Structure 1
């Protein structure tokens, strides 16, 4: 039997239509580049995510012309509510010249589709149901295209382009096909989340972060709930994000600096924590659960490098670009997608060969310049908070000081003005500059 393999060509192929891939495709298409955006799933499709967007991600949406109004289905938030050490503190997003002063919440079920639609409206060609299985190499070992299985019948098809952007998420299958293993010396986390119907909490105008998670280690006689003192401290951190549609997204994350990493049933840990929450939140009752508990890895701090090699640029999670400080990945996927597009536009304007390669090598250099020092600080932070005693002391002594916590918010969310700004901005920017880039 002879199998006829169809071939299509473009200037650039983007593998994966998540936030990073769609953002890259949008900016490429806006510059007149012929782009094929290949996505293995069909939209709408679910993704494991906290669904909360900081002002850093909002800035990228504004750049893409996305309508972020409440009329368009977005839930706005004012900032971050932090709970720990017996203290509840509400911290508004900082007022900055470089970023909006509001965050957003939206389910990934249609968030990714919104970005992919923006890319197609800009001129990119989106092909769903296209599962990229590996690269096509020329005689010199350079990537000149991709192989894919298309549709329910998994028909083989080839797509050729001088440059490929790998934005296929945590799995990073394309990078792995090129022999690019993840680095074990970089932080990584695991997160699990679930939706609950919660009329009392669904329209919260703050993202909520829990620095301490507790489980009902003991029960008082008669089945009453144990007191706070009787509850065992769980590893990791938690979140509750109102969705504005009657539901909340609630989840927790554990970092590999914790002794519990890889040794804990995270799904049980989530339900244990939620069993201690107030009854009127309806998160301690399975009857209010909306769907199963789902989990995913959080590849942090550039845990897969190089970000450019042999005609391939890694974007977002495939290059380990999750923020080690707060587990945020969407903003960095979108920023790296925009940066990759800018670099590729300049590279394609040059003849193939040394001149083009010189332009493409700017991509990893610029990523290191933007995030390398900050991610190094994040790696140190992860090691510190992996020690429960250090985390307990930091929570107990840091939470009572709002000024210090506002500094921590700016640091953890990476929200500063690069020039000018206040004293906090200057300190954080100075630290990221002197820290050796990862």
Structure 2
């Protein structure tokens, strides 16, 4: 960092991974004038498992970064959620708030991630694609992280060159749910934190430009009400390009693996999807892909010996709704702010003291909310309880508007309506464990 960067250092900061977390961190760091090197194991554009839907919380991060979100750039806006459950259907617009936009967005991760990476490059970040990080480089005396080793790989992930060392006084791990760098540093996940699973595919639909994202709060493995109710939720997100992202997720209050065949469940659920989508269950537009969703800060500490964890590597998916992108981008912005402030300090001890504030910054912003989410998961992982909540809750619009704000984490943090003040109070009271 300032005044002490060694001649052999390759950057002020190395960012591992160029997904939403890594690209956002790189953008903010480069915008502040730091020399940023991003190492990404794949090449853009590439597929990622996701619902492709962005809540107003994620949109706020995009707007703050100045990312173009025009329709001609491939983005489709939505005005809220169409919710099904307990035999009811309810359309709920995103709330009108000062702190958040009143619209959501959708775009495939293939295009979304490439757009964010290009935005980071335009800000001055250097991104090396097809470069797989193989491990940390530690100072032989202090044990502090001083860089990483990496090697070039081909499109299949096979070794395509010799291992190289990239040095920097700070490393941001944005390498996703695998969290290989954190694991190599001895940072293990907490098996008592919630873990989700999501699967998705794409279907052609005449409703591709629908202005609502659709959420199904119950998963039936056949006709609703005449088959088995399973733990989880489904979604249909129109993408404006003739297709919709169709998927389902399930969550457990611990990291215990489930025995559900998610691909088979998705096929049965799609066969009973609302008729207006006109899905041809026998003609998906791609394979069914799945991914784990690490939730509620399931990997700590978020800072250790020069390494900051951002996004899925730190288990930052929301237990309430399975959203990860908004929190990955939010954490990336906060991590960058901390790193920039540390960069200005004159001594190693002073710099490390600033870097060490990152876990508290994130705990203050999300710790209480995630603690509430852990309680929520323990309730909804019981299908019978979820059925009762949807059956008696959905017919009450005022209650559902409060629930929507809570589940989407879109509320006024200070002031606002009574529902905003209630949610803010609950997140403050809940321990940031």
Matched, 1:147 2:149: yes
Partner of 1:196: 203
Q: Is the 8 A contact 1:373 1:437 kept in 2?
A: yes
CA shift, 1:346, in A, is 0.4
Unaligned runs of 5+ in 2: 1-7, 155-159
3-state SS, counterpart of residue 292 of structure 1 = coil
Partner of 1:394: 389
Equivalent positions of 1:353-372 (< 5 A) are 353-372=348-367
Matched, 1:342 2:344: no
3-state SS, counterpart of residue 118 of structure 1 = helix
3-state SS, counterpart of residue 286 of structure 2 = strand
Distance 1:241 1:426 in 2: 30
Question: Measured at CA, do residues 126 and 428 of structure 1 come closer, stay the same or move farther in structure 2, by a change above 3 Å?
Answer: same
Q: Is the 8 A contact 1:276 1:284 kept in 2?
A: no
CA shift, 1:419, in A, is 1.9
Unaligned runs of 5+ in 1: 1-6, 217-226
Partner of 1:381: 376
Q: Is the 8 A contact 2:414 2:424 kept in 1?
A: no
Distance 2:164 2:211 in 1: 47
Partner of 1:331: 326
Partner of 1:255: 251
Distance 1:407 1:307 in 2: 31
Partner of 2:102: 101
3-state SS, counterpart of residue 288 of structure 2 = strand
Matched, 1:180 2:182: no
Distance 1:228 1:28 in 2: 49
TM-score of the two chains, using structure 2 as the length reference = 0.94
Distance 2:255 2:145 in 1: 40
CA shift, 1:169, in A, is 0.7
Q: Is the 8 A contact 1:235 1:260 kept in 2?
A: no
3-state SS, counterpart of residue 46 of structure 1 = coil
Distance 1:296 1:138 in 2: 34
CA shift, 1:23, in A, is 0.5
Cα offsets for 1:220-266 (capped at 9, x unmatched)? xxxxxxx6442222221100000111111010111124999511111
CA shift, 1:85, in A, is 0.8
TM-score of the two chains, using structure 1 as the length reference = 0.93
Equivalent positions of 1:10-409 (< 5 A) are 10-139=11-140, 140-152=142-154, 153-199=160-206, 201-216=207-222, 228-257=224-253, 262-278=258-274, 281-287=277-283, 289-409=284-404
Q: Is the 8 A contact 1:82 1:89 kept in 2?
A: yes
Aligned-pair RMSD on alpha carbons?
Answer: 1.5
Question: Measured at CA, do residues 284 and 208 of structure 1 come closer, stay the same or move farther in structure 2, by a change above 3 Å?
Answer: same
CA shift, 1:203, in A, is 1.1
Distance 2:116 2:249 in 1: 26
CA shift, 1:154, in A, is 3.2
Distance 1:258 1:215 in 2: 24
Partner of 2:432: 437
Distance 1:228 1:363 in 2: 46
Distance 1:120 1:230 in 2: 53
Distance 2:256 2:318 in 1: 21
Q: Is the 8 A contact 1:258 1:386 kept in 2?
A: no
Q: Is the 8 A contact 1:254 1:261 kept in 2?
A: no
3-state SS, counterpart of residue 291 of structure 1 = coil
Q: Is the 8 A contact 1:105 1:241 kept in 2?
A: yes
How many pairs align? 420
Q: Is the 8 A contact 2:176 2:311 kept in 1?
A: yes
Question: Measured at CA, do residues 228 and 65 of structure 1 come closer, stay the same or move farther in structure 2, by a change above 3 Å?
Answer: closer
Question: Measured at CA, do residues 259 and 357 of structure 1 come closer, stay the same or move farther in structure 2, by a change above 3 Å?
Answer: closer
Between 43-52 and 270-279, the greater mean CA deviation after superposition: 270-279
Question: Measured at CA, do residues 284 and 176 of structure 1 come closer, stay the same or move farther in structure 2, by a change above 3 Å?
Answer: same
Partner of 1:221: none
Distance 1:330 1:258 in 2: 21
3-state SS, counterpart of residue 238 of structure 1 = strand
CA shift, 1:352, in A, is 3.6
Q: Is the 8 A contact 1:17 1:38 kept in 2?
A: yes
Q: Is the 8 A contact 1:196 1:282 kept in 2?
A: no
